[in-house]
Amino acid sequence: MKAPIPHKRSAGWFFSSNHQYLALSQFPQALSMAASDITDAVRRGGLEIVRISGCKAVALTELYRFIDERGEQK
């Protein structure tokens, strides 16, 4: 599964300290997953959430790690 490559100033994408983040609300759409699966992963501690300007976001490296772990489980 590949994550979409963001364009500059795309909705849901953040940059902070030279790191790229995706808004948590955009995860289901970006990964073609159910929102409940994302919620479960957050609850279990499988995703590290960061707040940027009041928005919950996940680092792009964390997104790739999550995709790899889901691929290994299937």
CATH code for the domain defined by 13-73 = 1.10.10
Task: Return all residues near 10 (Cβ < 8 A) that are at least 6 apart.
Answer: none
Query: Is residue 49 helix, strand or coil?
Result: coil
The tokens for 42 are 């957050």
In the prediction, which pLDDT does 74 show? 63
List the pLDDT tens digit at each of the 74 positions of the chain: 566 665 555 667 788 788 889 988 888 888 888 889 888 888 998 888 989 888 889 998 988 898 888 777 76
Q: In degrees rounded to 5, what are phi and psi of residue 50? A: -125, 140
Whose structure tokens read 């959430």?
49
Could you tell me the residue ranges of all domains in the chain? 13-73
**By C-alpha distance, which of 49, 24, 2 is closest to 13?**
24
- Rg of the Cα atoms in the chain: 12
In the prediction, which pLDDT does 2 show? 62
